[in-house]
């Protein structure tokens, strides 16, 4: 019994000693880690900051015309696929593909000899009926014939006149005339070909003016007014800008998209704009104003706000300029540009690219040999 009691205190002392050793070891490791961090922080503070190469630009005012952009589709102010009302064989084609024609020009002629003969027959019958009516008129004046005979002669003459009108209408159906001035398309038929009534023969498009249709969100409907200036740009003519005028606004909003259809009219005397082509449209809304602008690349967008890095001048000749972060309030965008409402003033120098590697106080090397794009109407690089 005494031997067992002697072993118990010895075991407790060993456990206590082990706990003390483990605690001392942990304290030593923690102290060593803290000391290492302190030494690394001091070394980092003593280490010179590497200057970062960036591009910069000066904040300045620019004339800013608020615009509402969309993508539209061109169509002719008048356009139709022309067809005959009657069937027949083509006898003559009086135009070449792509010709400009006038209203009323006979484009295609069908064989009409039999219809012309019927018209002559109707004219002859009408002339005879007119002679008979004139004779009946003289006779009725002297009471030589009854009123019934005179009425019969009158009705016969009117019937013959109607026959002439019908024959002329049938004969006119053998001519395909231009309903309006415009440019004809490509025709693949030739004289001798048979065409059926209702079959499209050639297309006719009036290209001056040309219309453009585009859609605008309903939230912008109040900004639109008839007569507003619309600018058109097409990738077919990247160096050209076409002017149009807002000519119509659809009286209803599409319930599926909540957009409203808008129409603009553009002069097209040179024929560069072709129906079916898509164009980028920009409607001038509101009055022109002067705005502080920056390239969009200069803005860093964050959940807590938009920021820029200002270039602070060096304090000494041997020093370099440094970066200083500043919050800004941005407005509308235009091409590569963005309007700045507050946060900077005219003349401030701002980092325009390379700001992702910056923090407050970072020395800067300004290299503007390849600045980012800062255009109001940029074009694709391949152009």
Structure tokens at 363: 């020395």
- CA distance readout (Å), 113 to 107, 109, 117, 196, 344: 18, 11, 6, 18, 85
Provide the pLDDT for residue 383.
Answer: 45
Q: Assign domain 52-63+289-366 one CATH number from 1.20.58.220, 3.40.50.300, 2.40.420.20, 1.10.600.10.
A: 2.40.420.20
The three-state secondary structure class of 39 is helix
293 Cβ contact list (under 8 Å, min separation 6): 59, 60, 61, 62, 64, 334, 337, 338, 339, 340
Scanning the structure block, which residue is given the tokens 């206590």? 16
Entry pTM: 0.60
**What pLDDT does residue 327 have?**
92
pLDDT of residue 73: 92
Helix or strand holding residue 168 (H, E): helix 147-172
pLDDT value of residue 318: 56
Q: What is the pLDDT along the chain (383 residues), one digit of tens a residue?
A: 445 555 556 777 777 878 788 777 887 788 777 777 776 666 555 556 678 888 888 888 888 777 788 899 999 888 888 888 888 888 888 888 888 888 888 988 888 888 889 889 888 998 998 888 888 888 888 888 888 888 888 898 899 899 889 988 888 888 888 898 888 888 888 888 898 888 888 888 888 889 999 999 988 888 888 988 898 988 888 888 899 999 999 999 988 989 999 999 999 888 888 888 889 988 888 777 788 888 888 899 888 889 999 988 877 665 788 889 999 998 878 778 888 888 888 888 899 888 888 888 888 888 888 888 777 666 655 54
- Any idea what the Cα angle at residue 320 is, between residues 315 and 324, rounded to 5°? 80
Q: How far apart are CA 268 and CA 211, in angstroms?
A: 10
- List the CATH code of the domain at 112-173: 1.10.287.470
Provide the token pair at 98.
């792509």
The pLDDT assigned to 1 comes to 45
Domain ranges of the chain: 1-47, 52-63+289-366, 68-76+204-284, 112-173
The kind and range of the H/E element at 249 are strand 237-253
Are 153 and 202 spatial neighbours (Cβ–Cβ below 8 Å)?
no
- The pLDDT of residue 377: 64
Residue 350, φ and ψ in degrees, nearest 5: -125, 140
Q: Does domain 68-76+204-284 have CATH number 1.10.760.10?
A: no
């Amino acid at each position: 019994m005494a031997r067992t009691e002697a072993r118990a205190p010895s075991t407790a002392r060993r456990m206590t000693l082990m706990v003390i050793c483990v605690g001392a070891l942990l304290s030593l490791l923690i102290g060593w880690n803290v000391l290492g961090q302190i030494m690394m922080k001091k070394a980092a503070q003593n280490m010179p900051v590497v200057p970062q190469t960036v591009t910069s630009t000066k904040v300045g005012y620019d004339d800013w015309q608020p615009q509402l952009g969309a993508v539209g589709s061109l169509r002719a102010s008048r356009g139709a696929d022309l067809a005959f009302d009657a069937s027949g064989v083509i006898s003559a084609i009086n135009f070449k593909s792509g010709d400009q024609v006038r209203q009323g020009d006979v484009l295609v002629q069908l064989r009409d000899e039999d219809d012309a003969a019927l018209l002559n027959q109707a004219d002859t019958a009408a002339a005879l009926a007119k002679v008979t009516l004139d004779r009946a008129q003289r006779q009725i004046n002297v009471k030589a014939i009854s009123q019934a005979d005179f009425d019969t002669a009158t009705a016969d003459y009117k019937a013959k006149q109607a026959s002439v009108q019908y024959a002329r209408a049938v004969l006119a159906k053998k001519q395909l005339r231009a309903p309006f001035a415009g440019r004809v398309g490509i025709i693949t038929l030739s004289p001798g070909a048979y065409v059926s009534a209702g079959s499209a023969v050639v297309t006719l498009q009036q290209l001056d003016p040309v219309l453009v249709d585009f859609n605008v969100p309903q939230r912008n409907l109040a900004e639109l007014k008839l007569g507003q200036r619309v600018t058109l740009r097409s990738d077919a003519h990247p160096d050209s800008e076409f002017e149009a005028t807002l000519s119509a606004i659809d009286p209803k909003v599409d319930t599926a998209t909540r957009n409203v259809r808008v129409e603009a009219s553009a002069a097209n005397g040179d024929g560069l704009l072709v129906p079916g082509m898509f164009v980028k449209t920009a409607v001038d809304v509101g009055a022109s104003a002067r705005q502080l602008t920056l390239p969009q690349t200069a803005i860093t967008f964050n959940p807590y706000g938009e920021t820029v890095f200002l270039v602070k001048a060096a304090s000494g000749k041997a020093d370099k300029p440094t970066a200083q972060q500043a919050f800004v309030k941005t407005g509308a965008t235009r091409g590569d540009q963005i309007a700045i409402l507050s946060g900077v003033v005219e003349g401030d120098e701002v980092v325009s690219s390379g700001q992702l590697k910056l923090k407050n106080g970072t020395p800067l090397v300004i290299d503007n040999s390849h600045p980012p794009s800062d255009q109001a109407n940029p074009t694709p690089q391949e152009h």
